[in-house]
Structure 1
Amino acid sequence: MSAIVLDPGLPEGHRRLMATRPELLPPAPERPAWGGRTLGDVLAVLPQSALWGFLPLVVGLAHRGRIVLLTGLLLQGATLGVWIRYGFTTFFLAGSAVQALAFLALLALAGESPVAGYGRRHRGRYVTAAMLEPLDAALLERTVAATATVLRSRLDRDGLLDGIANRVILPRQEWDIAETLTELTRLRREQAGARSGRVTERISAMLESQEEALDVATRALARRISSLEEYARRTEEAEEVYAEWRTLRDLADDGDAYRELLSRTVRDDLAAGEVGELAERAERLEASLRESVEQARLAGLTLIPREG
């Protein structure tokens, strides 16, 4: 799946759908003729509508969905009832009417996907790796991976990274980086176009100066992305400690059950020692957890823009 970064200001429903199908982006800027419907759509809809008109149960069995299956079963029973009660001619006319309605309904559902429509509507407010030059696309993928690591972590969900509004700050950082990468790609392609023509000595000197500026900007952005990756790495490390601490804490909470089990076979003081060791391990790990989380928080705080 191609990496995609979306403007945090987009409607949440649009963002969610566009993020799931980035391969459908970007569409043509103009609305396609006939809503994107083609002769192929018509040819595909014709047999399906015929089945809905005369053999709807086949459609229901093919889709395997409960609602579609139930609809097909009821419709099949109705069409057979019409045939038995009113004869074949009425059955054929009724089936043809259902086929016509099904054809219109299926054709209405064909054409441009909602994702493509959103992409056309929100053009300029999303960036995919496919839209960028290879170097910039690689930087975008690193950014997306690091951001996802933090936002999907149990630490963030459980609020351990307090003081850092990850759900607000990271998408903004991600989008800012994506916009910068888009501009870098535009300038790289502009340079490539200039070099493909007649290059005089003065043009060459100008292009070299511009290329150096691009390199400086790329290195600066790469350092920013490295800071984001460091935050993600620290978060992963702290999350491993957090998972271990939660397991030990649960085991320590079950101390009474273990104490009772051990006391059946060994002395009570040994049983108490075994259980006490679990609690001590949990306490030591908790201290390590606090340190790991603090390191992650410090790495995250460096991403927060300074005011003034």
Structure 2
Amino acid sequence: MNSLILDPDLPEAHRRAMAAHPELLPPDPQRPAWGGRTVGDVPAALALSALWAFLPLVLASAQHGRRRMLVAGAALLQAAVLAVWIRYGLTTFFLVCLAVQGVAAVVLLALAGESPVAGYGRRHHGRYVHASMLEPLDAALLRRTVDATDIVLRSPIDRDGLLDSIANRVTLPRQAWEIAETLTELTRLRREQDQARSGRVTERISTVLASQEEALTVATRALARRISALEEYALRTEEAEAVYAEWRTLQDLAEDGDAYRELLSRTVRDQLAAGEVGQLTERARHLEESLRDSVEQARLVGLTLLTREG
């Protein structure tokens, strides 16, 4: 699971791309020289451009997924260079392929460098927090936040609207982002303290640092309590989810009641068949009541969490 929290106000397309590939997000907001291209990109581009010039159909067919438009374009290019060979001879064919190779090399070098996700990361620097950006203690708290939030948002009872009054899809990402922002500030202050301690520490500096460290400890504990509340909500949601899964199974079984009644009536009295199916229906009713109680407990924990944070 990716220990990444994004600003919920980011463009949705950017959010999805960044969440899918957090490993591509850059640690530095400064754009690298040459757009992230390296010396190794030049020979790689030349090698691929040669293949595009002389054997475009073979190269396109080997691409992952074999996109139809790519293969079709490569087939046309392959037919064109072969037609040049047949019509004008080997020398002209070779010169045309060199020209195609030159154009392909320029295009491949233009496409090399940073991925779009890295570009989003630089554009939105400061609007995402990854565990690798934090001190170990703060990174652990971030992972707990991500885990608890994901449990709720991926839960079938939230997906099916049983917790819709809490507006989890809007509320939880914002709460997670607030926690991530606080963790970022805690990490910044911890690093400042470490830097101050690396120099000459006088008695007065030591006193100030001790006071600041106490403030950091208090703030960390308060934030940990907030994260614990999220985890309590996630735990209640998981408990309700287990009951919900059992209830849905029994509902499916109850829908087959007519088939079982007919089956039983063939071998025993109709009264026994009705009794058996009736017991199944009664179990489903009791479980439905249990599900209602479990979901209500989860909702109450979530509402308490929102009231406490509000």
TM-score range, shorter chain: over 0.9
Distance 1:194 1:307 in 2: 34
**3-state SS, counterpart of residue 129 of structure 2:** strand
Distance 2:307 2:15 in 1: 24
Of the structure 1 ranges 34-43 and 281-290, higher mean CA displacement relative to structure 2 is found in 34-43
Are the aligned partners of 1:27 and 1:116 in contact in 2 as well (CA < 8 Å)?
no
Distance 1:35 1:72 in 2: 28
User: Given the alignment, which residue of 228, 231, 234 partners 2:230?
Assistant: 228
Q: What residue number does 1:190 align with?
A: 192
Q: What residue number does 2:53 align with?
A: 53
Distance 1:282 1:190 in 2: 59
**3-state SS, counterpart of residue 142 of structure 2:** helix
**In the comparison of the two structures, how many residue pairs are matched?**
308
Q: Point out 4+ residue stretches in structure 1 off by more than 4 angstroms.
A: 305-308
User: Given the alignment, which residue of 206, 211, 218 partners 2:220?
Assistant: 218
Deviation at 1:78, TM superposition (A): 2.8
Q: What residue number does 1:302 align with?
A: 304
Q: What residue number does 1:256 align with?
A: 258
Deviation at 1:42, TM superposition (A): 1.3
Of the structure 1 ranges 232-241 and 75-84, higher mean CA displacement relative to structure 2 is found in 75-84
- Give the alignment of 1:70-219 within 5 angstroms: 70-219=72-221
What residue ranges of structure 2 are gaps of 5+ in the alignment? Answer: none
Q: What residue number does 1:21 align with?
A: 21
Query: How high is the TM-score relative to the length of structure 2?
Result: 0.95
Q: Percent identity?
A: 75
User: Given the alignment, which residue of 280, 283, 287 partners 2:282?
Assistant: 280
Deviation at 1:152, TM superposition (A): 0.8
Are the aligned partners of 1:2 and 1:23 in contact in 2 as well (CA < 8 Å)?
no
Say if 2:16 is the partner of 1:5. Answer: no
- Residues 2-25 of structure 1, C-alpha deviation per residue, up to 9 Å, x if partnerless? 411111111111111111111122
Of the structure 1 ranges 20-29 and 104-113, higher mean CA displacement relative to structure 2 is found in 20-29
Of the structure 1 ranges 298-307 and 247-256, higher mean CA displacement relative to structure 2 is found in 298-307
- Residues 236-270 of structure 1, C-alpha deviation per residue, up to 9 Å, x if partnerless? 11111111111101110111111111211221111
- Residues 147-204 of structure 1, C-alpha deviation per residue, up to 9 Å, x if partnerless? 0111111111111013101011101100000000001101111111111111111111
- Residues 81-113 of structure 1, C-alpha deviation per residue, up to 9 Å, x if partnerless? 221222112211222222122212211211111
What residue ranges of structure 1 are gaps of 5+ in the alignment? Answer: none
Query: How high is the TM-score relative to the length of structure 1?
Result: 0.95
What is the identity, as a one-letter code, of the residue corresponding to 1:249?
Q
Distance 2:177 2:148 in 1: 13
Distance 2:246 2:282 in 1: 14
Cα RMSD (Å) = 1.6
- Residues 53-106 of structure 1, C-alpha deviation per residue, up to 9 Å, x if partnerless? 001122123214142334333432332222122211221122222212221221
Deviation at 1:118, TM superposition (A): 1.1
Distance 1:306 1:220 in 2: 12
